[in-house]
Amino acid sequence: MSSSSATYGLNNCDKEPIHVPGAIQPDGLLLVLDPDEFTIIQLSRNTDVWLGLAPESLLGMALPELLGEGVLVFLLKILTNPFNDYPTLQPVRYRDKAFVMRGHHNESGILVEMEPLPHDDQLLTYRLFSQLSNFFHDLERVGDPDRLLELTARQVREVTGHESVMVYRFDAEWNGQIIIEDRADGEQRFLGQHFPASDIPAQARRLYQINRIRRISNVHYTPVPLLPVENPRTGELDMTYTQLRSVSPIHREYMRNMGTVSSLTMSLMPEGRLWGMIVCHGDKPNYLSQPIRTFCKMVSQVVSENLQLALNREFDHRMSRLGRAIDRFNAPFQATLDLETGLAGLQELLPAFESDAVFLRLDGLCYHFGRDLDLDRLLALREAIRKKGRSGMASSECVPDALRHSMEWVCGYLFVPLSHASDEYLIFLRSERPREISWAGEPDKTIMQTGQVGEARISPRQSFQAWTQKIRGQSLPWERHHRAGASRLRRAINLRMASEMSRLRQHDAKMAHLATHDALTGLPNRLLVDDRLERALSRARRERSGGAVLFLDLNGFKPINDQYGHDTGDAVLQQVAERLESIVRDSDTFARFGGDEFVFVITGYLSMSTARVGAEAMASKLLAALEQPFKVEQEQLYVGASIGIALYPFDSEDPEQLIKLADQAMYTVKETGRSHYHFVADVCS
């Protein structure tokens, strides 16, 4: 087999157009309608099975003619929704059979899926809602992520009747691991085992983010093709949002190799990102009706929300421990007059960051605490990070390939820039942590020759027997609380350096204040805003509250500077600061961000809606305060303002990103040429 044919096969696997299979699973039927006439322009070739009518006889027929005028309301409701919106559901009867219709529309037309409803639909629905109520009650007593997922797996297995329910979690490279396994036989077949990212390629993960529940009732099914093969409007029929969509033959072969006959997969999406999946496997066919699937989808949505709360609690707990260690370093660090003595406390932070050494470049000097490493090698690592284009914080469990044989004991690094204006930075270093990974079968896929000369295809692995891989050359992974702690440590060092520079320049206590306040207006400056905003975000996380960042830029200030000079401009800025400061509450922060830009951080709102109302009220007061002229000597001078508003934690939980977003929203107002305000959410919508 040529290397080119192997590459072709690998590319085919990753780029397989699974959203346009041209066929459905035989659990129901699919009708594609013209959006103007509601006539059938394409359909699955199994209508004779479900409706007793040949598919050829239905082409061109209006759906109301087939199912009755009552479906018109259903179809019109679909058309009021955007393209590819969440499908609309409605029960319908045809002759003596009860179906559920599921419909949405896109460029190809109106897609209507029909599946049979169980005879005891009302009793089933009542039973499911009773179980859902009990499940919600149990959730209230669970705070630990693992316990939450164990409870969910057991509940889903009881409802679906599958033999096995597993929770599959993605890592940063999209490899997966089974972290929970609940089986009817009590055994643990895959618990702890890993699966390569290629098992769920990128296009499949995209579909799991869009269509959060997928099922296969019987892996041995024969796909039902469409008639005609090509959609009259678009050629290919995009079936991303359908539930009957036929799945990839590679995936079906994968399931058969695993010994799985039926499956149900639900996406876990805390904060809208694909974190993992609940995966149900059965060793026999198992058709799950629409009510059961709706129940499972509701469970996955509620669990995703509760999972985020549990993960946040876990993060807060870890961050609390790390924060206490940083505080123990920071108190003497800020108080001592000798910088080097204060920095020696970094040695005590190594266990908290689970690191072996820390390297600091500050004000042209290098400091190194912990395990020894040659300075030239550290500088080479810094240069390699720079060449990668990493201007912000960066972390890795392994050093760049070019340095792998020259970095002595170093494997992992957490790089923290202290300043973008100069090459000052902090690097935590970790040594190798050899480990073993148990894969569910050897992860490399088999490339098989087809009957066509020079062509190859991917074949899923034949065995899922545990296969152990020894991992060398990697450290422990850096986690979210390590990066958050490093950001907090950076602020402490920068705050101390601001004070240090003040002492070196003036040897006067007032200069420590100037390091965090604007000399012209006496307001807090950018450095203090970062610290205040981080504290506000921490409080919002603890109290589950919110607030807003308002970025204000004066309108008409530059012409004043140009016409009357900088002394007059400075006087206007001082009066602006004094007038606006009288509006701000003591609990809020008002700062000069630079030039004619000001930032407000307001706190203490219980929800996004109250934070928005509070921000609007503040913005209106600020604009009203600027309507009156400013008197400088004999001149009456006028300025206005453009204000951008970001809400936290709703728009972002990162201080720098919040200010950036508010700045962008401010420019939206600036473009209108008038004094007003604008929200980030309104810019994005």
Q: Convert 242-257 into a string of H (helix), E (strand) and C (coil).
A: CCCECCCHHHHHHHHH
**Fold of the 23-116 domain:** Beta-Lactamase (3.30.450)
Distance separating alpha carbons of residues 570 and 38, to the nearest angstrom: 69
Q: Tell me, what's the pLDDT at 74?
A: 94
In the chain, CATH 3.30.450.20 covers: 23-116
Q: Residue 34: pLDDT above 50?
A: yes
Q: Tell me, what's the pLDDT at 422?
A: 74
Q: Tell me, what's the pLDDT at 5?
A: 32
C-beta separation of 371 from 446 below 8 A: no
The more confidently predicted of residues 637 and 400 is 637
pTM over 0.75: no
Q: Residue 295: pLDDT above 60?
A: yes
Taking only the tens place, the pLDDT of each residue in 178-232 is: 999 999 998 888 999 999 998 999 999 999 998 889 999 999 999 999 999 999 9
In the chain, CATH 3.30.70.270 covers: 517-682
C-beta separation of 33 from 215 below 8 A: no
Q: Tell me, what's the pLDDT at 503?
A: 60
- Candidate CATH numbers 3.30.70.270, 3.40.30.10, 2.60.120.10, 3.40.50.720; the one for domain 517-682: 3.30.70.270
Least confident of 508-517, 529-538, 623-632: 508-517
In the chain, CATH 3.30.450.270 covers: 348-431+476-500
Q: Tell me, what's the pLDDT at 465?
A: 85
Taking only the tens place, the pLDDT of each residue in 76-89 is: 999 999 998 888 88
Quote the percentage of the chain above a pLDDT of 70.
Answer: 92
Mean pLDDT of the residues in the chain? 88
Q: Tell me, what's the pLDDT at 501?
A: 64
pLDDT (mean) for 108-132: 84
Neighbours of 444 (CB within 10 A): 11
Q: Tell me, what's the pLDDT at 400?
A: 86
Of the CA atoms within 13 Å of residue 631, those in its CB half-sphere come to 2
Q: 348-431+476-500: CATH homologous superfamily? A: PHY domain (3.30.450.270)
Structure tokens belonging to residue 508: 């006067």
Distance separating alpha carbons of residues 605 and 647, to the nearest angstrom: 10
Structure tokens belonging to residue 426: 């902090």
Least confident of 119-133, 134-148, 229-243, 652-666: 119-133
Judged by phi (left if over 0) then psi (alpha if -120 to 50, else beta), residue 585 lies in beta
Taking only the tens place, the pLDDT of each residue in 250-280 is: 899 999 999 999 999 999 999 889 999 999 9
Q: Residue 506: pLDDT above 90?
A: no
Site of tokens 């809606």: 609
The more confidently predicted of residues 126 and 305 is 305
pLDDT (mean) for 111-116: 96
pLDDT category at 3 given cuts 50, 70, 90 is very low
Distance separating alpha carbons of residues 659 and 549, to the nearest angstrom: 7
Distance separating alpha carbons of residues 68 and 473, to the nearest angstrom: 67
Burial of 299 (0-12, 13-18, 19+ CB in 10 A): buried
- 580 phi, psi to nearest 5 deg: -75, -30
pLDDT (mean) for 467-490: 91
Taking only the tens place, the pLDDT of each residue in 572-584 is: 999 999 999 999 9
Taking only the tens place, the pLDDT of each residue in 152-183 is: 999 999 999 999 999 999 998 899 999 999 99
Q: Tell me, what's the pLDDT at 505?
A: 57
- Candidate CATH numbers 3.40.50.720, 1.10.10.10, 3.30.450.40, 3.40.50.1000; the one for domain 120-313: 3.30.450.40
The more confidently predicted of residues 400 and 221 is 221
- DSSP annotation of 206 reads H
Q: Across the chain, which distance is largest between two alpha carbons, in Å?
A: 94
Taking only the tens place, the pLDDT of each residue in 359-385 is: 999 888 889 999 998 888 888 888 888
Q: Residue 396: pLDDT above 70?
A: yes
Q: Give the C-alpha distances (Å, rounded to integers) separating 653 from 30, 47, 384, 648.
A: 44, 52, 30, 6
pLDDT (mean) for 146-157: 93
Q: Tell me, what's the pLDDT at 1?
A: 32
pLDDT (mean) for 634-659: 91
Structure tokens belonging to residue 548: 């807003």
The more confidently predicted of residues 12 and 31 is 31
Judged by phi (left if over 0) then psi (alpha if -120 to 50, else beta), residue 38 lies in left
Q: Which residues of 619-640 are buried (b: 16+ CB within 10 A; e: fewer)?
A: beebbeebeeebebeeeebebb
pLDDT (mean) for 549-566: 93
Q: Tell me, what's the pLDDT at 13?
A: 55
